[in-house]
Amino acid sequence: MTRVLHSVCLSLLIPALICIQANAQEIKPASGNPLDPKYNELVDFSRVNAEKIRQATSSCIARANESNKRILSVPDAGRTFANTLAELDNGSNMLNQLSSIYEVLFSASPDKAIRDEATKASQLISDQLTEQSLNEDLYKAVKSYASTAEAKTLGGERKYYLDKLLRDFSRNGFALNKSERDTLKTINNKITELSLEFNKNIAQDNPGIIFSEKEMNGLPEDFKKSHLQADKTYKLDVSYPSYTPFMNYAKSADARKKLYLLKTNVAAPKNDVLLAEILRLRTKKAKLLGHPTYSDYITEGIMSKTPKNVWDFETKLKNDLRVKADVEYKNLLAMKSREAGKPQTTIYPYDTWYYTTMLLDQKYKVDEEKVKEYFELQNVIKGLFDVYQRIYNLSFEEDAHPSVWHPDVQAFRVTDNASHKMIGYFYLDLYPRENKYKHAACFPITCSRTLAEGRQVASAALICNFPKPTPAEPSLMTHSNVSTIFHEFGHLMHTLLNETELSTFAGTNVVTDFVEAPSQIMENWVWNKQVLSLFAKHYKTGEVIPSELVDRMIASKNATSALFALQQVFYGTLDFTMNDGFVIAGPHSIPDLVKQLQNSITLYPFVEGSHFETSFGHLTNYGSQYYGYLWSLVYAQDMYSAFAADPLSPETGKRFREMILAKGGSDDALNLVRNFLGREPGNKAFLKNLGLEETKAPAGINLSPRK
């Protein structure tokens, strides 16, 4: 296993870092059940097995019920924040933490028994959370507390929590009678069950495909060698280290189409069946709660407020992008026509990466294979650490003997340089393998919150799929890969740098149409010359990436930005349409909708036989909220304007850490942005980032204060 950093103080590797081993707070694996860490213990992943999962689940549910009993045993006259609201937050945290651990296990454990048991246990935990959200006695306890003199004096996070609880109980059906609430509970549990199955199907569908020498024409030799079989054929799968280079360089359109269809049929057709039932149940739930559609129910509680605001956002952005997208499409078409030696009329989805790569190479002189030579994985990780440690005044130290779920996984302690206290712990699971989550994401595990013993150390994992180094070849990352890990590490910092009192608001527990902003902002760092000079070094010579190459990369940044953004509009519109009154008339309803929207929004025609929706996990995880990726990008780019003069400014980093990351979801997201910027947010930076001129109104989003 190639390690990112050796187990020494990082100052030996990166001069800007501080050696913190002597000051590191001791934090050890759980002493009891490995899945039940006590105060500032870690999950002992190496001791996990199916039986431990069953035990931990049973124990956690029992303790959550005991917590509920304690709340209900308090007489109304004796209710306080501590014995009612804080106790409720603590009970929810127990369940949510175990659920988060199980999500890591069923997404990344190599042990099938563990994955299967974690999936089943997740359902039980979800059922318990649903039970609590619909518990009328708990609702009455909170209502009773709300009428006390103490409750009327609450301010800040505590008042925000009380208001949220009352709103959530209302949204959870307490205007319903007992029979209707029981129906709602059944619906919620079934949605969770189907969603878990949907994502499990994606993780466990590992299709492979064999290509001939001719079909590999155009691929780099090192890529071909890594996929060569004994019979001189080549075996590929649909993980990103395999899929992306092939779609970038394979000259055969037929071969690209074969791999595209393989990838867009992961978990098909069974996930179409599950998705149809999930959508039906969401609609039933929304109507039971007095909303015409699930989208109406969802937007009520987040930044967008109403479906109309989302539709206005998507529609206006689609129109704003269209002119630039048409130009970009014609540029790709010109590349295809030139290669074919005759006029071409269509760019298919399996053509896009290939001709974009060609465009970057020929027009902008950006050869992605050459660019990769400056982004060796270890150097990228060091640079990533350097950036985050500088701007947030932190130190990272590798744990030499971590308890992990796979030998490839590394773990690191995070110490605050100002207080010299350990504040976080994170895992890196960087390489693809069978039965592992196929994309890149941050998985929160333990949230930081205030306890009687002190401040809880937060923990989280980055689960990714970057090329794994071999004895002959290092791991070289595309610039897009570099952007991805900076983005996901932004989520991780949001988790670890939380300073809220309550777990309910910890870290990434923010409204879903803002949650991406603190990670999207970090993608800007990988386009900055000053930052790239820290770590973008040729893996053989050590030469810093040439300034003129970075200039060409920056010039090419928006070569297909409108086409890419239109694709995001398509994803967001598809997700929102499915949940905003879509009627499922039969088994082909969902594929037909995908085809219709792809053909009307993007410039790439639908490919018959494809079912991308069956492997698009966001349709369950972000139901009716995928639009938030572009919505939150408006805020991310505006916040980055504060860093523009100096992206490594510790002063600006301190303000961002304290005013955005530390606050988690403890205040309205729009208030957080306003406070950080010192003004109302706008869309100028967002439009500039896409290469669009500023329009007379924000790009489909009303950034004025909302009632």
> Which residues face 680 on adjacent strands?
none
- 151 part of a folded domain: yes
208-211 and 234-237 strand pairing: antiparallel
Nearest alpha carbon to residue 479 among 550, 409, 382: 550
Last residue of a domain, one of 248, 263, 278: 263
Q: Rounded mean pLDDT of the chain?
A: 92
- 552 part of a folded domain: no
Q: How many CA atoms lie within 13 A of 380 on its CB side?
A: 26
Cα separation, 644 vs 659, whole angstroms: 18
- 54 part of a folded domain: yes
Q: Are 110 and 431 in contact (CB under 8 A)?
A: no
My answer on whether 217 and 87 are in the same domain is no
Instruction: Examine the pLDDT at 443 and tell me if it is beyond 50.
Output: yes
pLDDT per residue as tens digits for the range 408-429: 999 999 999 999 999 999 999 9
Instruction: Examine the pLDDT at 621 and tell me if it is beyond 90.
Output: no
Which three-class secondary structure state does DSSP give residue 463? strand
pLDDT mean over 93-119: 97
Instruction: Examine the pLDDT at 379 and tell me if it is beyond 60.
Output: yes
Last residue of a domain, one of 171, 195, 228: 171
Per-residue pLDDT at 693: 62
Per-residue pLDDT at 93: 97
Instruction: Examine the pLDDT at 112 and tell me if it is beyond 60.
Output: yes
My answer on whether 400 and 446 are in the same domain is yes
Which ranges in 602-644 belong to alpha helices (H)?
618-621, 628-640
- 589 part of a folded domain: no
My answer on whether 20 and 110 are in the same domain is no
pLDDT per residue as tens digits for the range 495-504: 999 999 999 9
- 438 part of a folded domain: yes
Per-residue pLDDT at 8: 26
User: What sign results for the dihedral spanned by CA atoms 509, 511, 514, 515?
Assistant: positive
Centre a 10 Å sphere on the Cβ of residue 153 and count the other Cβ atoms it contains: 9
Per-residue pLDDT at 25: 54
My answer on whether 514 and 447 are in the same domain is yes
Instruction: Examine the pLDDT at 20 and tell me if it is beyond 90.
Output: no
Per-residue pLDDT at 701: 39
pLDDT per residue as tens digits for the range 584-599: 998 899 999 999 999 9
Nearest alpha carbon to residue 353 among 461, 480, 248, 503: 248
Per-residue pLDDT at 538: 97
My answer on whether 531 and 408 are in the same domain is yes
0.85 cut: is pTM over it?
yes
My answer on whether 73 and 24 are in the same domain is no
- HEC sequence for 446-489: ECCCEECCEECCEEEEEECCCCCCCCCCCCECCHHHHHHHHHHH
Q: Catalytic residue, from 376, 488, 499, 501: name it.
A: 488
Q: For tokens 């037909």, name the residue.
A: 592
My answer on whether 144 and 254 are in the same domain is no
My answer on whether 386 and 511 are in the same domain is yes
Per-residue pLDDT at 702: 40
My answer on whether 406 and 533 are in the same domain is yes
Q: Are 79 and 143 in contact (CB under 8 A)?
A: no
- 5 part of a folded domain: no
The alpha carbons of the chain give a radius of gyration, in whole angstroms, of: 25
Cα separation, 302 vs 163, whole angstroms: 14
Per-residue pLDDT at 472: 83
Per-residue pLDDT at 19: 32
Our count of domains for the chain comes to: 3
Strands, DSSP E only, in 380-538?
A: 394-398, 410-416, 421-429, 441-446, 450-451, 454-455, 458-463
Per-residue pLDDT at 31: 86
My answer on whether 254 and 144 are in the same domain is no
Say which DSSP state 375 is in: B
My answer on whether 107 and 155 are in the same domain is yes
Instruction: Examine the pLDDT at 610 and tell me if it is beyond 90.
Output: yes
pLDDT per residue as tens digits for the range 640-649: 999 999 999 9
Nearest alpha carbon to residue 332 among 357, 364, 366, 369: 357
For 599, list phi and psi in degrees, rounded to 5.
-70, -25
- 576 part of a folded domain: no
Instruction: Examine the pLDDT at 15 and tell me if it is beyond 50.
Output: no
Residue-range definition of the domain harbouring residue 256: 208-263
CATH code where residue 164 lies: 1.20.1050.40
| Residue 488 appears among annotated catalytic residues | yes
For 540, list phi and psi in degrees, rounded to 5.
-100, -45
The angle subtended at Cα 602 by Cα 596 and Cα 605, nearest 5°, is 65
User: What sign results for the dihedral spanned by CA atoms 240, 246, 247, 249?
Assistant: positive
Instruction: Examine the pLDDT at 632 and tell me if it is beyond 90.
Output: yes
Instruction: Examine the pLDDT at 143 and tell me if it is beyond 60.
Output: yes
- 449 part of a folded domain: yes
Stated length of the chain: 707
Say which DSSP state 523 is in: G
Which three-class secondary structure state does DSSP give residue 308? helix
Per-residue pLDDT at 703: 34
Q: Are 243 and 467 in contact (CB under 8 A)?
A: no
Last residue of a domain, one of 540, 573, 605: 540
CATH code where residue 424 lies: 3.40.390.10
Instruction: Examine the pLDDT at 696 and tell me if it is beyond 50.
Output: no
Q: For tokens 């092939």, name the residue.
A: 246
pLDDT mean over 181-187: 94
Instruction: Examine the pLDDT at 11 and tell me if it is beyond 90.
Output: no
Cα separation, 190 vs 209, whole angstroms: 35
Cβ neighbours of residue 75 closer than 8 Å, sequence gap 6 or more: none
Instruction: Examine the pLDDT at 302 and tell me if it is beyond 90.
Output: yes
Higher pLDDT, 374 or 19: 374
Question: CA torsion, points 397, 401, 407, 413, in degrees to nearest 10?
Answer: -30
Instruction: Examine the pLDDT at 435 and tell me if it is beyond 50.
Output: yes
Instruction: Examine the pLDDT at 482 and tell me if it is beyond 80.
Output: yes
Instruction: Examine the pLDDT at 695 and tell me if it is beyond 70.
Output: no
Cα separation, 180 vs 2, whole angstroms: 56
Per-residue pLDDT at 401: 95
Per-residue pLDDT at 197: 95
Instruction: Examine the pLDDT at 706 and tell me if it is beyond 80.
Output: no
pLDDT level of residue 28 (50, 70, 90 thresholds): confident
My answer on whether 50 and 107 are in the same domain is yes
